[in-house]
Amino acid sequence: MQCTIAKSICNLPVAHFLLASYYATGRLHNEMADRIEKRIELKAPVSRVWRALTDYREFGEWFRVKLEGPFVEGQFTRGVITHPGYEHVKWEARVQKMEPEKLFSFTWPHVQSFDKETYSGDYSNAPTTLVEFRLEPTKDGTLLVLTESGFDQLPEDMREENFRRNEGGWSEQMKNIEKHVSWTS
């Protein structure tokens, strides 16, 4: 019995450390799961990258969406995804800010699934996240910083899947815009 008590007491610092690490990791995981951030230095001037982001036709080319009209601060822009297999998905965003050659941001809705059988295309009550594109001039071109935040505001049963899907999606979109501005400069 003394041995058990002694071991328990000796292991208290270890248990405390492990418990503290668990909660710290949990907090870190929760904070990380709220935002996606991608950075890429593009070999194009800020004006060129700005045009690729904010001209709705150019945005549509690299993002693979056919938009109905231009981006206007405070208004919705709608369209249809053109990526193979997702042509049934509607695209919708409400433009938040357009600070020329510095910041372009919008909110967009999240749904449970894009599967043809379950996707309704109704975004009227869908929760949203904030997407921000920040531009900074560099010696060789433009630093593009993409941030999507607000995943912690999504319903718990949607959060992980939407985060995972968008994390991968933004990795691809950063490659797409890089190709687009280098080919069309």
Across the range 82-98, mean pLDDT stands at: 96
- Over the stretch 117-135, which tens digit does the pLDDT of each residue have? 888 889 999 999 999 999 9
Across the range 6-21, mean pLDDT stands at: 43
Q: How confident is the model at residue 185 (pLDDT cuts 50, 70, 90)?
A: low
Least confident of 109-113, 140-144, 149-153: 109-113
pLDDT of residue 113: 85
How far apart CA 79 and CA 59 sit, in angstroms, is 12
pLDDT of residue 91: 97
How far apart CA 139 and CA 153 sit, in angstroms, is 38
Q: What is the pTM of this model?
A: 0.81
> What are residue 144's phi and psi, to 5 degrees?
-105, 125
